[in-house]
Structure 1
Amino acid sequence: MNKSNDYKRVFDHFDEDNNGMVSPSELHRRVGIICHEQVLIEDVQVLVDSLHGNKVGGHELGFDDFVSLMESDNDDDKVEDLRKAFRLYENDGTDCITPKSLNRMLDRLGESRSVDECAGMISQFDLNGDGVLNFDEFKAMML
């Protein structure tokens, strides 16, 4: 798996208006969809601003900024937290998140979706096209 190509695919997914930049609002919407919880736009703006020397407002992420953001969160504690979260979703022993395992977890969280809807959610971040999410794809999605 080519990490640069994977990042580019995720970046292109976040870049909703295809202008070659990810705005704080685009990042906010995608993170909210992925995390299934309320993320404050102000928190996203602070994150984006921090990549630009803490100068406030008006910044967007180019591809290099996006890669820096993805790779800045690769410390051991965060990776271990992601592994724990991954195991919750991958509870059928396949070492990947399947549409059925995602469906079961969402049901437990009170976010009922059909297996087909779960397959669609997975396909948005399935970088190698195998219909499931492995840990690297999950990590790219979450970071």
Structure 2
Amino acid sequence: MSPTEGEVNEMIEKVDCDGSGTIDFPEFLRMMSNQTEDFDHETEIRETFRIFDKDGDGYISAGELRYMFANMGQKLTDEEINEMILDADIDGDGRINYSEFFRLM
């Protein structure tokens, strides 16, 4: 089941802590976790990571982030995508692994 544009906008408004009108990666993760509160937290995080990790290589790349946001109707610039990666990427490899993703949640 896909959310409508109005539902997506409502979800964004709820987590847009800085009032920018867009959501950064931590805000997006909060939005995703709010949608699945009934699930076990670890299972929820694992499943969310798998959704982002389209190629199943164990990492979320800039391209995978761009794809996910585009599917939600959010066209982000390369700069915004890179900022999200930098916010999460502890080991500096330019990708988000599961441990980094879990830490954000």
Distance 1:38 1:139 in 2: 12
In structure 2, the residue matched to 1:35 is 27
C-alpha contact 1:100 1:115 (8 A) present in aligned 2: no
Give SS of 2:84's match.
helix
Structure 2 length normalisation: TM-score?
Answer: 0.62
Aligned length: 78
Give how far 1:115 is off.
3.7
| RMSD (Å) for aligned C-alpha atoms | 2.7
In structure 1, the residue matched to 2:9 is none
- Aligned residue among 83, 93, 96 for 1:130: 93
TM-superposition CA deviations, 1:55-90 (whole Å, max 9, x none): xxxxxxxxxxxxxxxxxxxxx921110010011111
Distance 2:63 2:87 in 1: 16
> Which sections of structure 2, spanning at least 5 residues, go unmatched?
1-15, 32-38
| Larger RCO (CA within 8 A; separation ≥ 6) | 2
In structure 2, the residue matched to 1:94 is 57
Structure 1 residues 38 and 96: CA distance shift in structure 2, 3 A: closer
TM-superposition CA deviations, 1:21-80 (whole Å, max 9, x none): xxxxxxx838x64233887xxxxxxxxxxxxxxxxxxxxxxxxxxxxxxxxxxxx92111
In structure 1, the residue matched to 2:72 is 109
Query: What pairs up with 1:1-143 in 2 under 5 angstroms?
Result: 29=17, 33=24, 34-36=26-28, 77-142=40-105
Distance 2:30 2:91 in 1: 29
Distance 2:30 2:60 in 1: 23
Structure 1 length normalisation: TM-score?
Answer: 0.47
Q: Which amino acid aligns with 1:29?
A: C
The percentage of aligned residue pairs carrying the same residue is: 27
> Which sections of structure 1, spanning at least 5 residues, go unmatched?
1-27, 40-75
Q: Which amino acid aligns with 1:134?
A: N
